[in-house]
A and B are shown apart, each in its own frame.
Chain A
Amino acid sequence: MTVVPEAEMVALIGHRFPGGSHTIEHWENWLLTDCTGRDQLPDGLAHPIALFHVPIQGVGTSIAELFALGQVEGAGSVGLDSYDWEYFQPLEVGVEYRFEGGVIDVERLVSARGNPYDRFVFSIELASPDGKPAARITNHWRLRR
């Protein structure tokens, strides 16, 4: 198996996602909230956990595209290291948010078990229709080599 050259991965730093807009739909928030095991939220509130998939989709990419960008595929190739999610206002269903973001860091590291991996970090910002910051995510993924 050929290991993805480190230089190829580091070159992703600065990669910008297309950007765009996205609206959290009632049905997706209903199902998402149901998956978490709690009652539905009142007043059109979106479940805070929407801050995983909504930014990825809203910025014009997808989990599959992120896997392709990181050159990983197959079971066990990806792990989660950490999330840093900031909520500047509660997320709401039916609001068209704007999204911008990109890859902000990549670093080749070695796990405690001696296996190489790339720490792949991307950040996406959400703005509400009036232009005010709504949220920001910074996700650290582990791409195993």
Chain B
Amino acid sequence: MTIEPGTRVPPWTMSDVDPGRMKTMAAILRDPYAVHWDRDAVAGLGRGHRVINQGPLNLSYITNMLMAWQGDRCVRRLQVSFADPVLDHETVTATGVVTSVETVDGEVRATCDVWLERDGEPVVSGVAVVAVSGEYL
């Protein structure tokens, strides 16, 4: 199987965004932003009593997709924009498509449009560059 423009990246789904993981993440990041762990803090934002997933965790679902596809050492660049917060207990799916393949410093790399979607709408979108695994060359 080769990789070429138009090749789809196998999707990766987080079926239940867990508020407990947000608390652990906040501790690791030393993140004082209460919207990630205090339901009362987000009540005034018009999104109900639901905490907001950290942006890096949203991006991690995209990186998990890329690593499941091309291996754990594959990620070379991530350029993403954040459109809308992801809330606890939502389901999101990372997906992507190859737009180009080129050789850089002797390494074959695939540039991909990537996005994280909820109910078919992107909440994170951007471009990722990955090193292509030997089995795909």
Interface residues of A (CB under 8 A from B): 28, 31-32, 34-38, 41-43, 45, 47-49, 52-53, 57, 62-64, 67, 75-76, 78-87, 90
Contact = CB atoms under 8 A, between A and B. Distances in A.
Nearest to B127: A84
B57 A49 contact: yes
Contact of A87 (B29, B59, B75): B75
Given A53-B56, A76-B45, A80-B82, A32 B28 contact: yes
Main secondary structure of the interface of A (DSSP, over half): mixed
Contacts, number: 103
B79 to A, nearest CB: 5
B61 A82 contact: no
Contacts of A42: 72
A140 to B, nearest CB: 8
Given A47-B63, A83-B79, A37 B28 contact: no
Interface of B: 14, 21-22, 24-25, 28-35, 41-42, 44-45, 55-57, 59-61, 63-64, 67-68, 72-73, 75-82, 126
Given A41-B72, A64-B30, A87-B75, 12 more contacts: A31-B28, A35-B60, A36-B63, A37-B60, A38-B68, A45-B72, A48-B60, A48-B75, A53-B29, A64-B32, A86-B77, A87-B77
